[in-house]
Structure 1
Amino acid sequence: MTHTTHTTRTTGHVAAPRPDVYRALLDPAAIPRWRVPAGMSCRVHTFEPHEGGAFRVSLTYDDPASTSGKSTARTDTYHGRFTRLVPDGEVVEEMEFETEDPAFQGLMTITTTLTDAPGGGTDVSVLHTGLPEAVAPADNETGMRMALDNLARLLEHPG
C-alpha cells in the first residue's frame, strides 16, 4: 500500500552566529530546551551527533487528558540517524515515529540549512520530506515554527 506523504519548509532567523546555531542543533542538552512545541515536554533517550549516529527522542503532551500522541496516548517517540553533517552549514536527519498506526509510519528526512543572514545572525531553513499522510502539513509547520522560536530564544537570551 502506498502512503501519501507531505513536504514542508519552515524558516526562521536567529540573532546568533552560524557556529552557535549549529552547536545547538547537535547538543543533546539543548534539544529539550528548543526542539519541542508549546504544550509538550521533551526527553532525549539517545543522541549521537555524528554522521551515522543514532537518536531517539520522546515528546510528551503536558495535558494528562491528551489522546493526540502517535506512539502512546500522550507521547510521540521518534528515532533515526544523522545522515549528513556539514559543520556550521547543514544537518540532515532520517527519522520515523514509533507507532503501530500505518498513517503515521514511514521514513522522513529533515534537512536543516544555516546561512548567514543579511545584517547579521543566521537564517535557518528546515525542510521536511516524507512527512506521513496523517501529519497535517500546517500542524508540522506550526510545531517547527515554535521550535525555531525556542531556538532563537535559547541562543539570543542564554542563561
Structure 2
Amino acid sequence: MTRTDTASRVISAPVERVYAALVDPDALTAWLPPDGMSGELERFDARPGGSFRMILTYADASEAAGKTTADSDVVEARFVDIISGTRVVLAVDFVSDDPAYAGTMTMTWEVTKADGGARVEIRADDVPAGIRAEDHAAGLASSLAHLAAYVER
C-alpha cells in the first residue's frame, strides 16, 4: 500500500526567493534537515536528470535510529522535473539495508503566490513504510519552518 504525505506553509517572502532556496545547494543544506539533524551535500546538480546526495546526521542518535547508520540517513535524490520559479520534483531513495525504507519516494515542491508572500506545498508520494506518518509530518513541518526562517531573514 502506498502512502502520500503533504504539508504546506505560507512564507513571508517573494516567490522567487523561496523557489531559489529549493535549487541552491547552500540554501538546501541550511533549511532541509529537520529539527535534530544537520545536512551535508556530497554532490549537487539542479537540473532535470541531475541529482544530489545528502547525508543527514542526527544530533542525538539515542532519540532516533538512522536509516543508513546508527546516526545518519543518506538520501539519493534525482531531479525529475524543474519548472523555474514554480516546481521541483525529486525522486528520493534512502540508502538503507532495511527493506522498510526501500522504494522511491516522489517529492513535489510547489511555490505559488499567496497573500503575504509565497505558499509552499510539499507532496510526498510512495512514502516508504518504515517512515512513520507522524514523524514524517513533523519532519516536513520542521523543514518548512527552517525554509521560512532562511528566506525571511
TM-score, normalising length: structure 1: 0.92
Which 4+ runs in 1 deviate beyond 4 A? Answer: none
Please state how far the C-alpha of 1:43 moved relative to its aligned partner. 0.7
Report how many aligned residue pairs link the two structures. 153
Q: Please, which runs of 5 or more residues in structure 1 have no aligned partner?
A: none
Aligned position for 1:75: 72
2:31 maps to what in 1?
34
Q: Counterpart in 2 of 1:138?
A: 134
Q: Secondary structure at the match of 2:126?
A: strand
Q: Percent identity?
A: 35
Taking the TM superposition and a 5 Å limit, the aligned residue runs for 1:1-159 are: 4-65=1-62, 68-118=65-115, 120-157=116-153
Contact residue 18 and residue 151 of structure 2 kept, 8 A:
yes
Displacement of 1:5 after TM fit?
2.9
Q: CA RMSD of the aligned region, Å?
A: 1.1
Alignment gaps of 5+ in structure 2: none
Distance 1:66 1:147 in 2: 18
CA deviations on 1:50-77 (whole Å, 9 max, x unpaired) are 1110110011101154561000000010
TM-score, normalised by the number of residues in structure 2: 0.96
Q: Deviations over 1:7-45 (max 9, x none)?
A: 101001111111111110011011121001111111111
Distance 1:65 1:7 in 2: 28
